[in-house]
Amino acid sequence: MKIISKVMIKQIPWFFGMMAISIFTACSYLGEPLEDLAIQNRMVDQGDYIILQHASVNPTIGFVFYPGGLVDPHVYLCWMDELISRNHEIMVFSLKIPGNLSIFKNQHGASIPKDYPKIRHWLTGGHSLGGVSAAAMANRNPAPFSNVVFLGSWVTENYTLNQPQYRVLSISGSRDGLSTREKIDENEAFSPPRFIVTDPTIQSGQINNVTEFYEIPGGNHSGFGCYGLQNGDNEADISVSEQQELMLTAILTFIETLQP
Amino acid sequence: MKSIAIAFLVLLLPYVTMAQDFKWDANVHNFQRLAYQGNAGWGWNGAALSGSYFFEHRSKTKIETGLEYGFNGISHYVFAKGAYHYVNTISDSRWWYSAGGQIFQGMALFRPSPLYMGGLGVEASINYQLRPKLALGLSMGLRHYGSPAYGKYSQVNRFWDLPIGLHFRF
């Protein structure tokens, strides 16, 4: 037992060393203060998720969104508010997960549809690591989550979506330094067959078994939220608002043709 | 930042000033959320690791200081922890229990800059002395913490959690 105690005491510097490394690497990206966004009356924080909803309409489309890894969920409110403003039928559920790491709770959004029976259409999606979690949830819950939106993300081998019931919108940025085109292409086989879109207003015309892939020219990884430039990402050739305008157009086009 | 630095210095002071015998403690915590911002809401709310040491204050009381690193409903965080414990051994057995109050001062780890986060808690534990210099214990408590500055970014910046812990003391 003395040996065990000595070994444990020797581990103390390692313990604090690992702690220091983790502290250095585990900082979440934070966006703009809410008062700058002026959306307080359209959002409600439910503890497990943030709801964005246009007050005047009963929504019929639910969008369950997984934030990127180590990214505060509020950094996406800048474009989510615009999304519900352009289509009042949409209700967004931006998930909140301890430590901002959705891999700890990738089925977090699965129970939401039970609480909102009036919503007829559901889609899920995520940014970066959040997209992987969204795929994991869609993989286990194809009904109702057969529509999936990836922002700088892809499907992994463990949670494939290459079955006929899925319809996927994959949006990437040509300047993305983290979710590069090479990585997305390597995992193409785990999604439905790809249909490349060069204009965000164009769609495949299929209601399932398709991955509509749209690469934003000059867009980067960080431009899918409002939090500055992420470590390892490239500088974008277009502004964040330009990137998000193209992204929103693609998402709204995708939503227009949701399976009835 | 100055207040955080002062908190760290105060809480870490015993490391450099105390010469008496002390015991190390390594702790793993799981947090169950009880409420947020005054609303009841049960759910998993994170986990933490902590390293601290205990030194005797009086015959049945101990002071604990240490560091805790983990993630919770706000973010990843680091806390300097201070606690005061009442400790009692169950007669003629290897079992002993303790109860005490805790204070946490630290920061929520955000980029581009961290935000102050602090809290208060109570904790009770039951322990078993495996060997003369090694004890194993289970703890449960109640913790309230928050980050006032995070309130600018989120409608929820205060939580009540139920921490459940497993610790080794050696």
CB contact under 8 A, B73 and A98: yes
Backbone dihedral angles phi then psi of residue A44, each to the nearest 5 degrees: -135, 125
Strands (E), chain B: 22-36, 39-58, 61-71, 76-89, 95-108, 110-111, 115-131, 134-146, 158-169
Q: What residue spans define the domains of chain A?
A: 36-256
Q: Which of B31, B111, B117 to mutate to test the interface with A (most CBs of A within 10 A)?
A: B111
Taking residue A234's Cβ as centre, other Cβ atoms within 10 Å add up to 19
Say what the pTM is.
Answer: 0.89
Closest CA to A134 of A120, A119, A147: A147
Which residue of chain B is at minimal alpha-carbon distance from A37? B153
- In the CATH hierarchy, which top-level class contains the domain A36-256? alpha beta
Neighboring chain B residues of A47 at a CB cutoff of 8 Å = 33, 36-37, 39, 41, 43, 73, 156
Q: What residue spans define the domains of chain B?
A: 2-14+25-152
Q: What distance in Å separates the CA atoms of residue B141 and residue A81, rounded to the nearest whole number?
A: 39
CB contact under 8 A, A30 and B112: yes
**Which ranges of chain B does DSSP label H, i.e. alpha helix?**
2-17
% chain A with pLDDT above 90: 79
CB contact under 8 A, B72 and A99: yes
pLDDT single digits (tens) A105-146: 999 999 999 999 999 999 999 999 999 999 999 999 999 999
Position A237: which residue type? D
pLDDT single digits (tens) B40-55: 999 999 999 999 988 8
Q: Highest mean pLDDT range out of A15-29, A35-49, B32-46?
A: B32-46
CB contact under 8 A, A30 and B33: no
CB of A8 within 8 Å of any CB in chain B? yes
C-alpha distance from A100 to closest chain B C-alpha (Å): 7
